[in-house]
Amino acid sequence: MAFLDDETWRGRIFTGSWVTSAGGDTAVVEPATGREIGRAGMAAPADVADAAKVAANAQRAWAATPFQQRAAVLRKAAELWRVHSEELGSWLARESGSTAAKVGFELHVAEQECLEAAALPGRPSGSVLPSEAPRLSMAQRVPAGVVGVIAPFNAPLILSIRSVAPALALGNAVILKPDPRTAVCGGVALARVFEDAGLPPGVLHVLPGGRETGEALVSDPNVRVISFTGSTAAGRSVGEVAGRHLKRAHLELGGNSALIVTRDADLAGAVGAAAWGSFFHQGQICMTTGRHLVHESLFDDYVRLLAEKADSLVVGDPATGDVALGPLIDAGQRDKIHALVTDSVAAGATLAAGGTYTDLYYRPTVLADRTASTRAYREEIFGPVAVVTPFESEDDAVKLAGDSEYGLSLGILTGDAMRGLALAERIPTGIVHVNDQTVNDEAHAPFGGVRASGTGSRFGGAEANIEAFTETRWITARAGIPGFPL
């Protein structure tokens, strides 16, 4: 029997056991072909309320489980991502349109996230404090309780597991709401992995659903922390609802990341890095290189070479061939991308490559925008579109790179790495890569953006995860009851 046997999860949601969902079910569609490849349950707000009650009860026993046992569950989960990589990778390719490189990246990160999380239960859970009184005084980190995780379609496994794994390791229960378009590889897969890893029933719930389900999750009184990854517009709404209910919301939002190519950069290397940064997973990544800021002395050659690279890339079905780009997730995403491209060309940008599509296959596109004013330059595209703009001086590059509402990732390609680091200090972003493009992710490294890209680093690394998914409690103890002057 397959690990993700569809007779087990077809039309169902995971709430500690597989049950029929109140929201009915929806088709699992392969974007490369348009074929239905399964059906997944859709959770309604009533499912959220029920799951949250079960999770709140199950969390107490899970938090009291010896730390070695919690660590063992996470280690076993890491092993299962590797053992079942072929089947899980097939779902990533078919359901999310991921190429072989993207599939390998997601499965590797999922394994590493679980291994990093496995170390969390054994970390010190607090500190001893000095006190004015003759007593033992301590600050203790305790589980937040029930954590709600809302994850998008573009990197469904990574963007779920990076919150689910550390939250579970630290003694929380989790309710995960994956995007319905990737309910299997972003939701069912996690439920099956942790079930087989020995996670007790009721601790992890997977509830695919739409906006109403997400709102119910954010507002449910049993859910104390929200970890959201998605668009800036949706993140603002999540933050507002969470604020009204006085609960923490960790928001990882959109981006329009800049790649600065200085005068002394290796041009051939820069073009190779740039193509990866803009076209990996069809540009459907928050860290995607959207704006290429290139010194004016290199501009014409850079546009020409990047366009040649784009034209050479193979676009097709990643489940049946070795391709560089797969399909976009759906027609709505494709039409949004194409509108941004055509509007920008009409506004004066030069189309150097691409700008066409067949079905959901969008050709990698290069636009030369000398004015830095078109929609494709100013907005997050979330598609395989590279917008190239020249700059005259480093001060000019700093101004252009910083002139954005976003602040997620920054790449600087230069012949002088130390000068690149100095340049990075002048540009506000949550992530910087000198002599690399903007798309990087490692389980142990802090990840997050500033400005409209989110509320700062709270994924990756023990400190960030402990801060995100625990509360601090002050505890004192005396040998006897003191006298009081009343």
DSSP labels, 150-205: E--SSSTTHHHHHHHHHHHHTT-EEEEE--GGGTIIIIIHHHHHHHHHTPPTTSEE
Which pTM value belongs to this model?
Answer: 0.96
- Going by C-beta distance under 8 Å and a sequence separation of 6 or more, which residues neighbour residue 419? 262
Residues 214-240 have a mean pLDDT of 97
Query: In the structure, what pLDDT confidence band is assigned to residue 5 with cuts at 50, 70 and 90?
Result: confident
d(CA 477, CA 135): 6
Residues 150-165 have a mean pLDDT of 98
Model confidence at 222: pLDDT above 70: yes
Over the range 293-322, which residues count as b (16 or more CB within 10 Å of their CB) and which as e?
bbbeebbeebbebbbebbeebebbbbbeee
Q: What percent of the chain has pLDDT over 70?
A: 99
**Annotation says 252 is catalytic:** yes
> In terms of residues, how long is the chain?
486
Catalytic residue among 30, 252, 379, 380: 252
Model confidence at 8: pLDDT above 80: no
Pick from 232, 282, 239, 225: nearest CA to 408? 232
The whole-number pLDDT of residue 270 equals 98
Please check whether residue 170 is in contact with residue 121, taking contact to mean a CB–CB distance below 8 angstroms: yes
Residues 457-485 have a mean pLDDT of 93
d(CA 193, CA 76): 9
In the predicted model, what is the mean pLDDT of the chain? 96
The whole-number pLDDT of residue 16 equals 74
Neighbours of 135 (CB within 10 A): 12
- The pLDDT tens digits for 419-451 are 999 999 999 999 999 999 999 999 999 999 999
Model confidence at 463: pLDDT above 70: yes
Query: In the structure, what pLDDT confidence band is assigned to residue 458 with cuts at 50, 70 and 90?
Result: confident
The whole-number pLDDT of residue 45 equals 95
**Annotation says 114 is catalytic:** no
d(CA 285, CA 155): 7
Query: In the structure, what pLDDT confidence band is assigned to residue 2 with cuts at 50, 70 and 90?
Result: confident
Catalytic residue among 106, 185, 195, 286: 286
Lowest mean pLDDT among 40-44, 203-207, 245-249, 454-458: 454-458
Residues 143-161 have a mean pLDDT of 98
Model confidence at 27: pLDDT above 80: yes
Q: What percent of the chain has pLDDT over 90?
A: 92
d(CA 470, CA 301): 51
Lowest mean pLDDT among 3-12, 112-121, 255-264: 3-12
Model confidence at 21: pLDDT above 80: no
Tokens representing 455 are: 């509320």
- Going by C-beta distance under 8 Å and a sequence separation of 6 or more, which residues neighbour residue 108? none
The whole-number pLDDT of residue 17 equals 72
Residues 200-213 have a mean pLDDT of 96
Residues 265-293 have a mean pLDDT of 98
- Going by C-beta distance under 8 Å and a sequence separation of 6 or more, which residues neighbour residue 24? 11, 41, 42
The whole-number pLDDT of residue 280 equals 98
d(CA 286, CA 235): 13
Residues 28-33 have a mean pLDDT of 96
Q: Pick the residue with more confidence: 243 or 17?
A: 243
Tokens representing 466 are: 């402990």
Measured at the alpha carbon of residue 67, what is the angle toward residues 62 and 69, in degrees to the nearest 5? 75
- The pLDDT tens digits for 321-371 are 999 999 999 999 999 999 999 999 999 999 999 999 999 999 999 999 999
